Every structure is written in structure tokens, then in C-alpha cells.
Structure 1
Amino acid sequence: MSSFDEREKGEEAKFAHDASLRFRAEARRNKHLAHWACAQMGVESADDIANYVAEVIAADMTEAGPADVLRKIKDDFDARGVAIEERTIEAKVAEYDIQARSEVLSEI
């Protein structure tokens, strides 16, 4: 195998590893965000929280970036009469993104 082939395989492995870390960090961010949103909405049942976490994680599969998650949580807040502005949710996304990346990186 040539050094070019070895380098190419190394780059492919790094890309796959980085993509896996990004996916895990985004899922972890969404989990933290869903727990926060549940607290804001007064959701206390463990089953209801687990279901909401799954809904938020699934919502993130709609489009690239966190806009789909922001929209879901804002819509859910509005439906429950929770008066929290979108910029507050955006700040929580940023906060939990940093936290989740740190947690995922500490696990490797």
C-alpha cells in the first residue's frame, strides 16, 4: 500500500471519528436542552421527560443545525403558555453545546 493510500485511509478514519463525535455531542446537547425545557414547562414524570428527550433528539434530524430544535422547543413553550423568548433558548443551546462537547471529549 502506498503512503498516499495510507494517508487517505487515515483521513477517512479521522473524518468518520469526527462525525461520530459531533453526532454524540449534538445528541447530548439536545438531551440537556430537553431536560431544561421540561423543567420550564413543569414536566416532572420520568417517562414524560424521557419521551420529550426523544422528541427533541428526533426533531434535530429534520435539518442541519439547531434551528429545528429551537423551533420545536419554542412551539412547545408557546403551546403550554411558557413565556420564554427565542434568544433565551438560543443561549441555552449555545451553553449546552459547549457543555456537551466537553463531556463527549472527556469520554474519549
Structure 2
Amino acid sequence: MTSFEDRQTAFEAKFAMDEQKEFIARMRRNRFMAVWASAKKGETVENAREFGRELIKNDLQEIGDEDVVEAVMTYLGDSVTEKTVRAKLEEMMSEAKYQMVQED
């Protein structure tokens, strides 16, 4: 292989690894959101797990955060604003990425 091909292969491998890490962080973030939303409603851990599975399923069906925001807002009803959900989503994504770095 030439040096260019080596670099291209390395770049593709890094891209795939970065995408995998982003995917794992999103799924972790969704679980965190489910725990937060369930706690806000005063529900049990089992409810949080169930809602977490639902959020992950929704997130896998559509690219982007809109489906997650909508699901959380529907779950919580009028007790939360979209701005609050989006802020919490960002916070939880930061926490998910931080935890992943700590695990490496």
C-alpha cells in the first residue's frame, strides 16, 4: 500500500470509530433522559427503563434529536417546556460523552 492509501484507510477507520462512539453516547444520553423524565414524574426505575427503551427505539427510527424531544415532552406533558428538554438533552449528552472518556 502507498502512504496515501494507508492514510485513507486510517481515516476511514477513525471515522467509523467516531461514529460508533457517537451512537453509543446518544443511546446512553437517551437512557439518562428517561431516568430524568421518570424521576420528574415520580415513577419507578422500571418505568424509567421502559421509557428508555422507547426513547432508544424512537431515536433509531429517525436521525436527529427532534423525535427524542417530542417523546420526552409528550411523556411529561405540560410540566416542562421544550427549552428545558433541549437544555437537559445537551446536558445529558455532555455527561454521556464525559463518562465514555472516563471509561477509556
Residue 72 of structure 1: how far off its partner (Å)? 0.4
Unaligned runs of 5+ in 1: none
Q: TM-score, normalised by structure 2?
A: 0.91
Deviations 1:32-91 (A, max 9, x none): 1110001112211x332211111111111232221110000111112xxx5111111111
- Overall identity of the aligned pairs, in %: 33
- Following superposition of structure 1 onto structure 2, how do residues 29-68 of structure 1 map, counting pairs within 5 Å? 29-44=29-44, 46-68=45-67
Letter in 1 for 2:86: E
Unaligned runs of 5+ in 2: none
Letter in 2 for 1:43: E
- Give the structure with the larger helix fraction: 2
Residue 5 of structure 2 aligns with which residue? Answer: 5
Q: TM-score, normalised by structure 1?
A: 0.88
Letter in 1 for 2:30: N
Q: CA RMSD in A?
A: 1.2
Higher relative contact order (CA 8 A, sep 6+): 1
